[in-house]
Amino acid sequence: MPVIITYLQKLLVMHIINLNMADRETATGVVGLVQAYVNTVDVQDGPEELSDPNTLSAWLVAHELMESGQTVTEADLKHAVAVREAIRGVIGANSGRRVYPLDIATLNEAATVSRLRARFGAGGKARLEPEAGGVAGAMGRMVAALFAAMGDEDWTRLKLCGSQTCRWAFCDRSRNHSSRWCTMATCGNRQKARRFRERARVGG
Ligand SMILES: [Zn+2]
């Protein structure tokens, strides 16, 4: 009996640790919004949250980037996914990756198409607002969020997982900003196992 209780306690502790790991990797505020958008797909294992125009529309409305009842086409979906992957590319710079000209061009195009303008609210605070509606406007708001996120102190902590097949966006809360994989529990162990197998192969 004591063995079983210890085992259950261990499971519970592991569960709590995993929950904390997950929370720690999630950014808040505008950086959190950018992270949430990039992580609408798990590149490695799926699923894809933005699988069709309806799910894209639902996501954008839920995150107050678009009003409900707007027409969303397949072309809009393609545009939104392209912007998402361009943002992933730009976040890669925080992990020491090269930023590709195509990603830069995609983000500049999204800003242009949405007709982003600086607007001052009643309280005197400035923000970037798109003139375009629909998904084009929503992508403009996403670019504006990225613009604001880059000025946030948490920005450089937002990184891409070092695994080429994963590329999950995670918030690196380690003291010296040295985390390379999204969770040690999953990707870190996967990397370790791969290195172990490679060493074993070289050794044998
Ligand atoms: Zn990962």
Domain assignment present for 190: no
Residue 5 has pLDDT above 80, yes or no: no
Domain assignment present for 17: no
Prediction pTM value:
0.81
d(CA 38, ligand 1 centre) in Å: 13
Domain assignment present for 70: yes
Q: What is the pLDDT of residues 142-201, one digit of tens each?
A: 999 999 999 999 999 999 998 888 999 999 988 888 888 887 556 766 666 666 677 777
For residue 146, count other CB atoms closer than 10 A to its CB: 24
Is residue 167 packed enough to be buried (19+ CB in 10 Å), middle (13-18) or exposed (0-12)?
buried
d(CA 18, ligand 1 centre) in Å: 14
d(CA 99, ligand 1 centre) in Å: 19
The mean per-residue pLDDT over the stretch 58-62 comes to 98
d(CA 96, ligand 1 centre) in Å: 16
Domain assignment present for 199: no
Which stretches of 91-190 are assigned E, i.e. beta strand? Answer: 116-120, 126-130, 158-160, 169-171
Higher pLDDT, 189 or 85: 85
Range of the domain at 152: 26-182
Task: Confirm if 140 and 116 have CB atoms less than 8 A apart.
Answer: yes
Domain with 114 in it: what CATH number? 1.10.3300.10
Q: What percent of the chain has pLDDT over 90?
A: 66
d(CA 22, ligand 1 centre) in Å: 12
Nearest-angstrom CA–CA distance, 7 and 29? 38
Across the chain, mean pLDDT equals: 87
Domain assignment present for 19: no
Total count of domains within the chain: 1
d(CA 43, ligand 1 centre) in Å: 10
Domain assignment present for 3: no
d(CA 162, ligand 1 centre) in Å: 7
Q: What is the pLDDT of residues 29-41, one digit of tens each?
A: 999 999 999 999 9
> Virtual CA dihedral for 196, 165, 91, 66, nearest 10 degrees?
-150
Domain assignment present for 178: yes
Exposure b/e, 115-129, CB count within 10 A at least 16 = b: ebeeeeeeeeeeebb
Task: Confirm if 107 and 87 have CB atoms less than 8 A apart.
Answer: yes
Task: Confirm if 149 and 158 have CB atoms less than 8 A apart.
Answer: yes
Quote the pLDDT of residue 17: 47
Domain assignment present for 198: no
